[in-house]
């Protein structure tokens, strides 16, 4: 229940910030173009807070935080007094109207740059993207890894952590090949590494993003520090808790067999559903034998396995693999702009590949997935939350630029047609377009929600 409210609260905060940025873009440019603004609202429905400024603009925070709007003076929807006609939106030049409508998505891109700028100033704790193996019969199998290798570039694009590797790989979905540049981790720190580039055939590269990352699907073995046989966490009401195991217990043996590694230990547990197993542990200065009966659990493949509800202790990452991704006051601007541009290009590629079929519509995410992402990022800390809302801000800006008449992109389409033809698109044509756009948008939202519920 706590997770639900944490995710919900994080989602509302993130969405509120992004909607405010988007609508403020419309508002600010409209005022600069001399348009009278009636209402600036964050959210829909009943107002929970409102204030009217001296110039007559009403500022509102409404109960349903799933959108917002800027209501402007417009002769098409209301009677306008003669003395205010020059302040009506519809009386402005087509280029002014284009500027006002485009300002919303542009504000989202600017906000992403600001969020990333702050993130890079503060610094993001990161892990170097190091691999220690490649999987047989995978696209990456052509890479021979004899010692830990750091990925330093993907198709010429420099990468510094796993998040950047993941983003770079996603942009190649549906392509025929990609390049990965590797350098030995053992190279001297502080010297620009000179790596070896491998050309990987990815025509048969397929993966389910719900089950694996593009990194592991490509066949790259991510380097991970070892696992210590010390219990780090025990699930409430689990077999382990009932039997009396405690956090900090060191596992010495199971069923009289000395502990070898965590995978072997898990195998014994999983094949012992509803059967007692003897776990010999060290607790402080004591050594104890504890009988545990793993509970039966049906996994995703439909098989019955045993689980006891414990997690081991993971060893610390080596010092030479940990770093803070941060820049100075000036360099952070360049890094933030560059990262925003990467997000924009990858997002446009993904939209294009949705239409070509290279990316499945199953990958569409709705508000539930976004809420879970907001909660997870907020749980890791402010810098991760900033990175998350920068990503969502970019996506919000791009979605609004789609040429659907109910979105900003649809309005821009009509206005550019007006620029070319010299006259506005007939209102009947606009109305038909709005209905079509609303139906298509509703279908996409329904599909995204369906995917969300399917993932729960």
Exposed / middle / buried, residue 166 (Cβ in 10 Å: 0-12, 13-18, 19+): middle
pLDDT band at residue 433 using 50, 70 and 90 as cut-offs: confident
Quote the DSSP letter at residue 190.
Answer: T
pLDDT at 45 over 80: yes
Averaged pLDDT of the chain: 85
42-51, 170-179, 206-215, 276-285: the lowest-pLDDT one: 206-215
pLDDT of 323 reads 87
Whether residue 266 lies inside any domain: the answer is: yes
pLDDT of 244 reads 92
pLDDT at 130 over 70: yes
Whether residue 61 lies inside any domain: the answer is: no
* pTM tops 0.95, yes or no: no
Catalytic residue of the set 23, 212, 228, 418 = 23
pLDDT band at residue 4 using 50, 70 and 90 as cut-offs: low
Q: Which CATH number goes with the domain that contains 285?
A: 2.30.42.10
Helix (H, G, I), strand (E, B) or coil at 444: helix
Question: Could you give the angle at the alpha carbon of 167 between the alpha carbons of 162 and 171, nearest 5°?
Answer: 145
Backbone φ and ψ of 47, nearest 5°: -75, 135
Whether residue 90 lies inside any domain: the answer is: no
pLDDT at 369 over 70: no
> Does residue 189 carry a catalytic annotation?
no
Distance CA 258, CA 372 (A): 40
Distance CA 92, CA 75 (A): 11
Same domain? For 185 and 307 the reply is no
Distance CA 335, CA 340 (A): 9
Q: Which domain holds residue 405?
A: 96-123+326-456
Same domain? For 245 and 179 the reply is no
Task: Quote the number of domains for the chain.
Answer: 3
284, 315, 346 — which closes off a domain? Answer: 315
Same domain? For 100 and 180 the reply is no
Mean pLDDT of 201-214: 76
pLDDT digits 0-9 by tens, 280-323: 999 999 999 999 999 998 887 788 899 999 999 988 888 888 88
267, 296, 323 — which closes off a domain? Answer: 323
Whether residue 83 lies inside any domain: the answer is: no
pLDDT at 218 over 80: yes
Same domain? For 342 and 448 the reply is yes
Q: How many residues does this entry show for the chain?
A: 456
Same domain? For 331 and 452 the reply is yes
Same domain? For 302 and 375 the reply is no
Whether residue 131 lies inside any domain: the answer is: yes
Same domain? For 414 and 383 the reply is yes
289, 323, 357 — which closes off a domain? Answer: 323
pLDDT at 380 over 80: no
Residues contacting 323, CB < 8 A, separation 6+: 126, 128
Answer whether 390's CB lies under 8 Å from 112's CB: yes
Which of 60, 41, 42, 40 is CA-nearest to residue 50?
60
Same domain? For 115 and 137 the reply is no
Mean pLDDT of 35-51: 91
Whether residue 40 lies inside any domain: the answer is: no
pLDDT band at residue 29 using 50, 70 and 90 as cut-offs: very high
Whether residue 87 lies inside any domain: the answer is: no
């Amino acid at each position: 229940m706590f997770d639900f409210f944490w995710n919900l609260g994080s989602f509302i905060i993130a969405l509120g910030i992004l909607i405010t940025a988007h609508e403020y873009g419309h508002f600010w440019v409209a005022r600069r173009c001399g348009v009278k603004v009636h209402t600036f609202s964050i959210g829909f429905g009943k107002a929970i807070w409102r204030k009217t400024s001296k110039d007559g603009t009403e500022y509102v925070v409404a109960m349903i935080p799933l959108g917002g709007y800027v209501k402007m003076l417009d002769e098409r929807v209301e009677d306008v007094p003669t003395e205010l006609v020059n302040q009506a939106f519809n009386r402005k030049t087509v280029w002014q109207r284009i500027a006002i409508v485009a300002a919303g998505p542009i504000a989202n891109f600017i906000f992403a740059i600001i969020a990333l700028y702050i993130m890079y100033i503060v610094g993001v704790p990161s892990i170097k993207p190091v691999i220690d193996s490649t999987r047989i019969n995978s696209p990456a199998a052509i890479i021979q890894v004899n010692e830990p290798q750091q990925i330093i570039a993907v198709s010429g694009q420099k990468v510094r952590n796993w998040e950047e590797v993941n983003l770079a790989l996603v942009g190649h979905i549906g392509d025929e090949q990609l390049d990965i540049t590797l350098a030995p981790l053992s190279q001297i720190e502080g010297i620009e590494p000179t790596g070896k580039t491998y050309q990987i055939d990815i025509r048969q590269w397929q993966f389910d993003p719900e089950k694996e990352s593009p990194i592991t699907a490509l066949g790259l073995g991510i380097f991970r520090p070892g696992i210590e046989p010390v219990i780090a966490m025990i699930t409430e009401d689990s077999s382990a808790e009932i039997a009396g195991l405690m956090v900090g217990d060191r596992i010495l043996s199971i069923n009289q067999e000395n502990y070898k590694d965590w995978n072997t230990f898990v195998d014994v547990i999983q094949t012992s559903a509803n059967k007692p197993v003897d776990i010999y542990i060290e607790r402080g200065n004591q050594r104890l034998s504890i009988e545990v009966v793993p509970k039966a659990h049906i996994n995703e493949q439909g098989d019955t396995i045993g689980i006891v509800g414990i997690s081991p202790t993971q060893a610390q990452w080596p010092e030479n693999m940990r770093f803070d991704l941060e820049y100075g006051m000036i360099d952070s601007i360049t890094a933030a702009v560059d990262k925003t541009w990467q997000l924009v290009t990858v997002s446009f590629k993904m939209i294009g590949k949705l239409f070509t079929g290279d990316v499945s519509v199953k990958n569409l995410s709705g508000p539930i997935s976004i809420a879970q992402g907001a909660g997870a990022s907020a749980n890791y800390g402010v810098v991760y939350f900033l990175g998350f809302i920068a990503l969502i801000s970019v996506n919000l800006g791009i979605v609004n630029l789609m040429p659907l008449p109910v979105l900003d992109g649809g309005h821009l389409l009509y206005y550019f047609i007006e620029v070319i033809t010299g006259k506005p698109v007939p209102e009947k044509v606009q109305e038909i377009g709005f209905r079509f756009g609303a139906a298509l948008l509703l279908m996409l939202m329904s599909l995204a929600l369906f995917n969300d519920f399917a993932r729960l």
